Structure 1
Amino acid sequence: MKASKLGILSAAIASICCLGPFVLILLGLGSLGIGAAIGKYHWYFIAAALLLLTFAWGSYLKKKRACDLKACKMENKKITLFTLIISTLIVAIFVTLNIYTYVVQKDFTDKRTKAGLIETRTVVIPVEGMTCFTCELAVSSAIKKVKGVVTAKASAKEGKARVEYDPSKTSIEQLVEAINKTGYKASLIRNTNDINNGNEIKDF
């Protein structure tokens, strides 16, 4: 396979684990759970993308070196180089997003707040299936569409969503329903294992 095609393939693989679930949600197919299933293997996608990109650059440099030795003109040299640079940037962006999600991003704190003169409540809901920045964005966006929600922030690292809401306009059940419609799994079930593992819904 040509270096340019390998580069394009690496960029596509790097982006599918993050953009794929988000696109499915925009198309109204989030509830199928395909995005969450893809997200479970996001590090494999990233590793495959980096491997393909390495092969792409190796193929390009090998061909360039051969042409330099033979003093021949390399076919589509500029186009191939441009494609590889763009592909590298795309892969780098998604690698950075994953690192930010799990390493740089700070954990959120649980605290009760007030939005203006409205008394609000804050709930922390366990969410399964989030693996990267776009997963967090999808979950947060879905929650914010619920009437009565003041703020919403999801964390793939924590596997939770923190929501500040007006209890007179919405309920935890509605928040959980909104999350589940994205294909990620939130639950109201409280059992001994959940409590022992710190995975219970916290409302305060």
Structure 2
Amino acid sequence: MNNKKTLMGSSIILAMATSLCCIGPLLAIVAGTSGLASNFKFLEPFRPYLIGITGLVLVVAWYQQLRTVAKKEIDCACDTDEKPAFWKGKIWLMTITVFALAMLAFPYYAQSLYPKQEAKGQTNFFASQDVKEINIPVVGMTCSGCEAHIEHEVNGLDGIIMVKADYQKANAQIMYDPAKTTRDAIVNAILKTGYTIKDQ
């Protein structure tokens, strides 16, 4: 039974580690320390291996769970009122499995969890005649959660009209009012998230 607990605990830890590079930025924004988010991006190259190990651990845990139940039924055909502990049962293992799958899929729905934030300059967009558009190459984004992290940070600046980060293209496209903010301020906001900017 101790081995089963170890497998269940391992699957939770592995599943969380698999998506920690995406969970970290969201937790950092909630905590108000967005610069800490980059501390977890080192895990991204290991994600495929962590997914595989998580799946293997869950398969072994389910195999042991189902084998233990079958063995008890064979060993004892007598009726017993003794219920197994909740932590050792199928319901708990099912809960862990669902949680692990939710963590593995986190990068695909992370952006929907970020607080909705409109760019501060959108309301005065047509008032300014001098609007600049820049394209900044950003290194380190790995999922839509990373995009949302950068967009959230840049949208916090005055004079931002539009920001669209794209992890596949490794860039952030930004429209802003140069009377209210500067390219340097935008670059600093991106750097504050922990991602780096190419050729800087």
- Given the two structures, how large is their TM-score scaled by the length of structure 1? 0.69
* SS, match of residue 180 in structure 2: coil
- The structure-2 alpha-carbon separation of the partners of 1:187 and 1:14, relative to structure 1 and needing over 3 Å to count, comes to closer
Q: Structure 1 unaligned runs (5+)?
A: 102-112, 190-204
What is the aligned partner in structure 1 of residue 173 from structure 2? 162
What is the aligned partner in structure 1 of residue 70 from structure 2? 65
- The structure-2 alpha-carbon separation of the partners of 1:23 and 1:77, relative to structure 1 and needing over 3 Å to count, comes to closer
CA-to-aligned-CA distance 1:47-73 (integer Å, 9 cap, x gap): 332232222222222222222323476
- The structure-2 alpha-carbon separation of the partners of 1:7 and 1:147, relative to structure 1 and needing over 3 Å to count, comes to same
* SS, match of residue 167 in structure 1: coil
What is the aligned partner in structure 1 of residue 47 from structure 2? 42
CA-to-aligned-CA distance 1:94-143 (integer Å, 9 cap, x gap): 43344679xxxxxxxxxxx9944444333221111111232222211111
Match of 1:19 among 16, 23, 26: 23
- Given the two structures, how large is their TM-score scaled by the length of structure 2? 0.70
Q: What is the alpha-carbon distance in structure 2 between the residues aligned to residue 65 and residue 74 of structure 1?
A: 15
Amino acid corresponding to residue 63 of structure 1 in structure 2: T
Q: Structure 2 unaligned runs (5+)?
A: 111-121
5 Å-filtered alignment, 1:110-121, equals: 115-119=125-129, 120-121=131-132
Residue range with higher mean Cα deviation, 2-11 or 132-141: 2-11
* Alpha-carbon distance, 1:157 to partner: 2.0
Amino acid corresponding to residue 69 of structure 1 in structure 2: I
Q: Does 1:86 align with 2:91?
A: no
What is the aligned partner in structure 2 of residue 110 from structure 1? none
What is the aligned partner in structure 2 of residue 149 from structure 1? 160
What is the aligned partner in structure 1 of residue 146 from structure 2? 135
* SS, match of residue 75 in structure 1: coil
- The structure-2 alpha-carbon separation of the partners of 1:147 and 1:33, relative to structure 1 and needing over 3 Å to count, comes to same
What is the aligned partner in structure 1 of residue 118 from structure 2? none
Q: What is the alpha-carbon distance in structure 2 between the residues aligned to residue 17 and residue 50 of structure 1?
A: 19
Q: What is the alpha-carbon distance in structure 1 between the residues aligned to residue 83 and residue 14 of structure 2?
A: 23
Q: Does 1:181 align with 2:192?
A: yes
- The structure-2 alpha-carbon separation of the partners of 1:62 and 1:27, relative to structure 1 and needing over 3 Å to count, comes to farther
Identical counterparts, % of pairs: 25
State how many pairs are aligned. Answer: 178
CA-to-aligned-CA distance 1:159-198 (integer Å, 9 cap, x gap): 2222222222112221111111111112464xxxxxxxxx
Q: What is the alpha-carbon distance in structure 1 between the residues aligned to residue 37 and residue 11 of structure 2?
A: 30
**What is the Cα-based RMSD across aligned positions, in Å?**
3.2
